[in-house]
Chain A
């Protein structure tokens, strides 16, 4: 089945130690999104790629970066994780940019910062 895959499902890192989360998709969608969801809160968009074009949300901290080396893969890099970055990180895709394109979400990676 075509899907959005996130690895690992659970990631533990140490305060200040860089960490990379991975997302891949078999849907061949043009757009890939990264959302952050803290405990008991709603998901919040960090940034998205439309093809190779990176679109950062205005309030996304500089500590968060992303790479999309090809259509299928997208990475979320946290350069110096703080305790406040502990959250579920959700990757999503859509066929095209724009309102009328359903977003397909992966299962998420739960990040713990010690």
Chain B
């Protein structure tokens, strides 16, 4: 599974879009990009995943660059409850489901 690089921490103003980058320059063609987040004292929570195309769901949007070497998770209108550690994970299609968490980005949403 490809390695990911994320900034250690980011701040965002409440109500503004939070854009969380992830670098996965060694990603291969059959590897997916997954995002989970972990709010303090809770278990991780699935957010979104994608392969090549941009994806959107009720929680977030995922923008993957054309060369697939990086991606951005977008929370369109961040709230205080979005304060969490966000993990970008790259998984090969044949993976049994094992999640390999990196250090993630701590997002602090401020009033």
Q: Which residues of B contact A (CB under 8 A)?
A: 32, 36, 38, 41-46, 49, 87, 91-104
**B97 and A31 contact, CB distance less than 8 A:** yes
**A43 and B95 contact, CB distance less than 8 A:** no
Please tell me which one of the listed residues B46, B94, B95, B101 contacts residue A42 in the complex, with CB atoms under 8 A apart. B101
Q: Is the interface of B mostly helix, strand, loop or mixed?
A: loop
Which A residues from 52 to 71 make CB contacts under 8 A with B?
Answer: 55, 57
Which A residues from 82 to 114 make CB contacts under 8 A with B?
Answer: 90-92, 94, 97-108
**B101 and A99 contact, CB distance less than 8 A:** no
How many chain A residues touch B (CB < 8 A): the figure is 29
Please, which residues of chain A bring their CB within 8 A of the CB of B99?
A: 35, 43, 45, 103
**B103 and A92 contact, CB distance less than 8 A:** no
Please, which residues of chain A bring their CB within 8 A of the CB of B45?
A: 105
Chain B: which residue is nearest A99 at the CB level?
A: B95
8 A-B pairs closest in CB distance: A105-B43, A42-B101, A102-B46, A99-B95, A90-B43, A105-B44, A43-B101, A97-B97
Measured CB to CB, the closest approach of chain A to B5, in angstroms, equals 14
Which A residues from 22 to 78 make CB contacts under 8 A with B?
Answer: 31, 33, 35, 41-45, 48, 50, 55, 57
